[in-house]
Amino acid sequence: MPADQDSLPASLPAAIARRLEQEVITLVHAPGAWLREEEVSARFGVSRSPVREAMRVMEADGLLLRHPRRGTQVPPMTRADLDAISACRLPLEGLASAGAAAHASPSAIARLREKAAAMAAAEKAEDAAAAFAANVAITDTLHAECGNPVLTRLLSGLDKLAMRYRYASYRHLPEVLHQAVEANLALAEAIASRDPQGAQRLTEGLIRANWDRLAALFESGWQPGD
């Protein structure tokens, strides 16, 4: 049995999409890399049909590009793409944090504190991947608790596009991770204190700082996936 098949649940296309999505986000498949249906099928020990369906889902989410008669490719990461995504995230994520400060349940606040503490522990252990995973859990909680289902839906699509850039900043810019730890600890307390303005300010400041530092990295000639 292929190594990756035994852990797949019954819904093969969704399971394959989740696995490949995580690998694209964490740059296991570098920007510009080609994903071949036959290779993915062999890896998971399945036919090409569920792989093709999984890739269609990822294409709809902006995580893959399909080229007629050529194949499927991981999209490039560019300064222009970073700017476009960040310009949308800045106000929308700020609104989500403000909404969470007004609407978050006690259990959600406890989860925010727990994951912010996990980020701090991961930074101390120099584990950028664990810090990123904890931060993704924080973001998911903020979106779910913002009290605005339209905003939650908008952010769900935007979040997929932003993930690779967020991961790259944690992996390549230790100062971004350090600032994110401090900001998320403060953000959890702002939400616990029911301080929408403070929560929005912290979130927008963090996104702006991350945007600026990653933009500077692009300007230095950095190639994503290095």
CATH number of the domain to which 160 belongs: 1.20.120.530
pTM listed for this prediction: 0.90
129 in any annotated domain: yes
Cα dihedral angle (91, 92, 93, 97), rounded to 10 degrees? 100
225 in any annotated domain: no
Do 98 and 174 fall within a single domain? yes
1 in any annotated domain: no
Structure tokens that stand for 1 in this block? 């049995």
Structure tokens that stand for 50 in this block? 């569920």
- Give yes or no for a contact between 199 and 186, defined as CB atoms under 8 angstroms apart: no
Read off the DSSP letter of residue 213.
H
Q: How far apart are the first and last CA of the chain?
A: 33
DSSP 134-158: HHHHHHHHHHHTSS-HHHHHHHHHH
Rg (CA), the chain: 18
- Give yes or no for a contact between 40 and 20, defined as CB atoms under 8 angstroms apart: yes
51 in any annotated domain: yes
Listed residue (204, 221, 213) closest to 178, CA to CA: 213
Do 101 and 67 fall within a single domain? no
Other C-beta atoms lying within 10 Å of the C-beta of residue 157? 12
Residue 89: pLDDT above 60? yes
- Give yes or no for a contact between 82 and 215, defined as CB atoms under 8 angstroms apart: yes
Read off the DSSP letter of residue 65.
E
Number of domains in the chain: 2
Do 100 and 196 fall within a single domain? yes
For 91, residues 6+ apart whose C-beta sits below 8 A from its C-beta are 204
Predicted confidence band of residue 64 (pLDDT cuts 50, 70, 90): very high
Do 40 and 141 fall within a single domain? no
pLDDT digits (tens, 9 = 90+) for 108-138: 999 999 999 999 999 999 999 999 999 999 9
pLDDT digits (tens, 9 = 90+) for 142-171: 999 999 999 999 999 999 999 999 999 999
Do 106 and 174 fall within a single domain? yes
Listed residue (181, 188, 189) closest to 206, CA to CA: 181
Listed residues 73, 88, 106: the one ending a domain: 73
Residue 69: pLDDT above 90? no
Do 129 and 113 fall within a single domain? yes
Residue ranges making up the domain that contains 186: 79-219
Burial status of residue 147 (CB atoms within 10 A of its CB: 0-12, 13-18, 19 or more)? middle
Element (H, E) at 196: helix 196-219
What number of residues does the chain have?
226
Residue 88: pLDDT above 60? yes
Predicted confidence band of residue 223 (pLDDT cuts 50, 70, 90): confident
Do 130 and 52 fall within a single domain? no
pLDDT of residue 168: 95
Taking residues 78-87, report their average pLDDT: 97
pLDDT of residue 3: 47
72 strand-pairing partners? 35, 66
Determine phi and psi for 4, rounding to 5 degrees.
Answer: -90, 0
